[in-house]
Amino acid sequence: MRFRTQRTMLSFMSVCALIAGLLAPFFDQPAYAATGREPVIVIPGVAGSEFTTTAAFRLSVDNGHGGTYTHDYGANEKVWVNTSEAIFSGDDDYFDALKMRADGVTPVAPALKASDIYHSAYDDLIGYLEGQGYVRNVDLWIFPYDWRRDIRTVTSQLDAMVTRALVASNGGRTDPATWTIRRADLVAHSMGGMVSRSYISDPARAARIDQLITLGSPQLGSVKFLKTLMYGDQFGPSFLGIGLNPDEIKDVVQNMPGAMQLLPSSTYYTYYNNSSSAKLRPYIEDRDVDGNGTAGGVLSYSAVKQLLLNTGKNSTVLNMAESYHTGIDGQRNGGVNGVRWAALVGQGQSTLGQMREYTGSCLTWTGYKPCPKRDETPVDGDGTVSTMSAAMGDPWQNLLINSGAQRWYVEREHAAMVQRDYVLGVATGDGNVLPWIGDLLRGTIPMSASAMATQTTGKPNRAPVQQVSGTWISALGPVALQISDAEGRSTGRKPGESEAKPGVPETRYERLPESEFVATKQDRPYTLSLAAEREGSVDLKVRVLGNGRVDRTAVYLGVLLGAKGRAQLAMQQGVGRAAAVQGWPALQIDADGDGVFERSVQASAVLDANASADASAPELTVEQPPAVASQSGTVTVRWQAADQGAGVLLESATLDPDTASARPVQNGETLTLTPGQHRVLIVVQDRAGNARSQELSFFVQ
């Protein structure tokens, strides 16, 4: 009896499978096989695919810092990510093998192929899917790709993998007419989401995909890559968990179209239009960076592109990136071609939104002088990708590109979207994203425009969450910045270290040349430490963030430290709410580094939201005395200073700066000069740290 029942059921299942296969072409949704399910293809982000040599070769290439790098690579050698090479400090020229030539098409080392994913970053996601019953190379597939190349050229390789996945899921049958499973699902992280979106932009390819799930994809670009291209950064490795020399990363990416396609697109600038501190444009040029004789201020998309060209960036590759975004960002009427797209947008993390080059003031042992400063200001996002880039528009104003995507929002960092939850390096659970992915693949979450169900706190939600709060700490000058908590954990770096340690929970470190930054989310007691790397002047800014914007800034300007000097600021809980200087702690200064804090200084100013946004230098009007002083050598120096933004903080004048006889000059003072050439340097600085200067020259006969 039991045998007959099983035979009857098997025959029934076979008939059902046959009917499903015959009817599948007539329905939008795929038919599911009785013994299988749609295959899932995992697509990693930028730098998430490893590269292995296909043959031994010798590389001899410009090393990007004045020499030639020559190295012999063996057959089947893992070049990216070669952790043995990555852990060594130094120039990291070993990774020059990843470079592309100036045409943006030809690699300098042709004997390299994308061979696997970087497992340290993606094993949690793969392991979770395997725990849901997926089997590698049956209904779970990994798509390593050459993330250096133009995204549009990768789609043919992805198409081949989709075919392989569908053949395997249908028992090895190669004839699509016999398939019961006709579509695959794509789960794509970061840049992988851009690859996927490019793939489904073609209707024929889109017909082979059921669901697309993107995780923190910079669809409109990322300011972090603009930083990488201009200054160097931990691009890629920052979320992969390894450290490389930022200058090497800058050198390697210069001719990579795929990387260049991560630049903020022209559409990015329509949402981040600098209308508020929550919508910052990517770059402010308040001093002449590109040597064209002008400082452009808040730059538009076209102005940023011109600045990149003026500073020698590759026009061929920049045009490839622009062409890609012009095509993909313009698909505003259901460009998904019927694919069900769930786009996960990370929020609640301080994310690089704007870089600014400007003229500040540096205190020296002989007085103040103008000096270049580089600063960063955050917007809301996942720590790598801004909210409005991943969401493809402004979710708070409901001004969104009609991409066909169903947007979901979660308070989680970029790397953590493909990882479990960890405490002290020990996994404590699957987190809130991995189960969400599983629910989507199982179909237990409705994928429709009306599915606006409220989720449990912490899980992905259909509505955007409150924007980022916390602090953004900037140390502008030749120092190493660290922040420590009550448990003795630290985020930042010590002098001479090339890599930062991310030890304090919910903090993150950023760096520009001679500028360092730490973001914090929690209002807790912290100790900020500044350690000099050489003698110099430092500006410390503590920005207090509320609902995605800068509400308040405490500034400590012109902190002069010797070659081994250090300074320390004890931040107590709630101090960020103080609107007056007296409510902020004093900065303790050990100028000579002997271990004794010999003095303390109060904050120079505490700025409100409007004054925090002041990016204009003060006005300076100098009365012009004769260039040749009288025979007696007397000359009177007068000036006027004004500032309509944060207000004037200091006015300084120095006679014969940078000489042994340098001395301060008072406004309106009449000087009696010795015969010869003399200079007077006048510097005016506002409470936000912006400065303007003018120099007078005299010759006494």
Report the predicted TM-score, pTM, of the whole model to 2 decimal places.
0.91
How far is 568 from 600, CA to CA, in rounded Å?
A: 9
How far is 613 from 632, CA to CA, in rounded Å?
A: 48
Residue 330 is given by DSSP the state T
- State residue 454's pLDDT score: 40
Is residue 578 a contact partner of residue 572, using CB atoms and an 8 Å limit? no
At 245, is the pLDDT very low, low, confident or very high (cuts 50, 70, 90)? confident
Residue the block writes with tokens 């597939």: 141
How far is 617 from 637, CA to CA, in rounded Å?
A: 21
Strand 691-700 versus strand 676-686 pairing type = antiparallel
Q: 172 is written with which tokens?
A: 């090895």
Helices 301-310 and 223-231, axial angle in degrees (round to 10)? 20
Cβ neighbours, 10 Å, residue 102: 12
Residue 280: exposure state from Cβ atoms within 10 A (0-12, 13-18, ≥19): buried
Q: How many residues does the chain have?
A: 701
How far is 394 from 201, CA to CA, in rounded Å?
A: 23
Q: SS3 string of 199-241?
A: HHCCHHHHCCEEEEEEECCCCCCCHHHHHHHHHCCCCCHHHHC
Q: What is the dihedral of CA 391, 397, 398, 402, to 10 degrees?
A: -60
- State residue 334's pLDDT score: 60
Residues in a beta bridge with 349: 381, 382
How far is 214 from 210, CA to CA, in rounded Å?
A: 13
How far is 688 from 95, CA to CA, in rounded Å?
A: 41
- State residue 92's pLDDT score: 87
Q: 596 is written with which tokens?
A: 């004794």
> Which CB contacts under 8 angstroms, 24+ apart, belong to 672-675?
672/632, 672/633, 672/634, 673/629, 673/633, 673/634, 673/635, 673/698, 673/700, 674/633, 674/700, 675/633, 675/700, 675/701
**Residues 429, 432, 434, 435, CA torsion sign:** positive
Q: Which of 89-93, 644-648, 666-670, 690-694 has the lowest mean pLDDT?
A: 89-93
Cα distance from N-terminal residue to C-terminal residue, the chain:
123
Q: Which of 501-505, 583-587, 601-605, 656-660 has the lowest mean pLDDT?
A: 501-505
At 333, is the pLDDT very low, low, confident or very high (cuts 50, 70, 90)? low
How far is 320 from 316, CA to CA, in rounded Å?
A: 6
Residue the block writes with tokens 């609640």: 348
Cβ neighbours, 10 Å, residue 116: 15
How far is 394 from 324, CA to CA, in rounded Å?
A: 22
Q: Read off the pLDDT of residues 361-415 as tens digits, 9 standing for 90 and up.
A: 999 988 999 999 999 999 999 999 999 999 999 999 999 998 889 999 999 999 9
Q: Read off the pLDDT of residues 95-117 as tens digits, 9 standing for 90 and up.
A: 999 999 999 999 999 999 999 99
- Name the amino acid, one letter, at 275: S
Q: Read off the pLDDT of residues 253-305 as tens digits, 9 standing for 90 and up.
A: 999 999 999 999 999 999 999 999 999 999 999 999 999 999 999 999 999 99
Q: Give me the mean pLDDT over the 426-446 stretch.
A: 93
pLDDT at 5 over 60: no
Q: Could you tell me where the beta strands, DSSP code E, fall in 393-535?
A: 393-394, 399-400, 405-411, 421-423, 426-429, 470-476, 479-484, 490-492, 501-502, 507-512, 515-520, 526-532
- State residue 1's pLDDT score: 30
